[in-house]
Amino acid sequence: MDRIVVGTRGSLLARWQAGFVARTLRVAHPGLEIEEKIIVTEGDRLSAGSSGKEAWVGSSNPARLGDAGRSPPSADAALWNAGGKAVWVKEIEVALLAGEVDVAVHSMKDVPGELAPGLTLVAIPERADARDAVVSREGSGLVGLPTSARVGTASLRRACQLKALRPDFQVEILRGNLDTRLRKVADGAVDAAILACAGLDRLGFAGRISERLPIERMLPAVGQGALAVEIRADDQRTRAFCQALDHRETAVAVLAERSFLARLGATCRTPVAGHAWLCGEDLVLRGLVGRPDGTQVLADQAFGRVADAEEVGRGLAETLLCRGAGSILAECG
């Protein structure tokens, strides 16, 4: 009997994602045996080893998320400085290269622009809702939150756009897995949190959403809502199995987004957003680069043919670089 081992992180959302891939593979290939292997990443260890303080509250604290020119402390500094996005995927990729697993499943937004040598993305399943969501204790959307509301996030991208929309907000660090963040909102650690719609929908928490933010107000992260299925580049057997997972429209859109991010050369310390979608055989890509405190946000969009997805991404990056994004990237990176 054919057998595939799927490597994943151990969070509820990561397990759901791996389970989705496994279910899809079983439907496409009846009789295929699939084993799940949980792998602890550096990001998991750093998060678990944090001080436990989930939010920075009040102006007396010198390091609220998004404060200009300041760096996040403790575990958050480690997460942003210890290799960027790679902290969430590195150990899984090591296991993949060692042959301990055949397939790695990641959130696409966590996948670095450059993969480890010898690995490739074999499939990108159909994207879920890419938007961000407001989850508030009182059920209010973004506009309805009170003056100086405490809004939690662990994303500089979200912090930048929140401060640009509502400079009065106190944007505070909110870390932990999705269920932990929801509990923090319910317990009053913050008045609201900004979370990905995709994760909330996938884990059955859609009813907790107070507002789904349109991309015109909160541009998503590159790859948000999409999954990445990674294999060894020379593993033709697993490649053949995984082709059934690929969704053309999502793959093209994500290709444009990742090309945009790669040309910018941005690190996790710079707020960057990018989202693409298809209109027939035409492609639309919106992109953004900003300062963490929201005092400067550069945004634009580009159009092109589906066949030119990478060029569309690079072209939009060049446009923003010409408008001053390079200075922001240099200062924040």
Enumerate the β-bridge partners of residue 171.
151
Catalytic entry in 76, 110, 191, 293: 110
DSSP labels, 242-310: HGGG--HHHHHHHHHHHHHHHHHT--TTS-EEEEEEEETTEEEEEEEEE-TTSS-EEEEEEEEEGGGHH
Q: Contact 91/84 with Cβ under 8 angstroms?
A: no
Q: Contact 197/128 with Cβ under 8 angstroms?
A: yes
CA–CA gap between residue 89 and residue 85 (Å, rounded): 7
110 flagged as catalytic? yes
Q: How far is CA 165 from the centre of its chain?
A: 21
Q: Contact 294/164 with Cβ under 8 angstroms?
A: yes
Distances (CA, A) of 127 to 14, 275, 286: 15, 12, 17
CA–CA gap between residue 122 and residue 228 (Å, rounded): 8
Helix extents (H) in 98-196: 156-165, 178-187
Known catalytic residues? Answer: 110
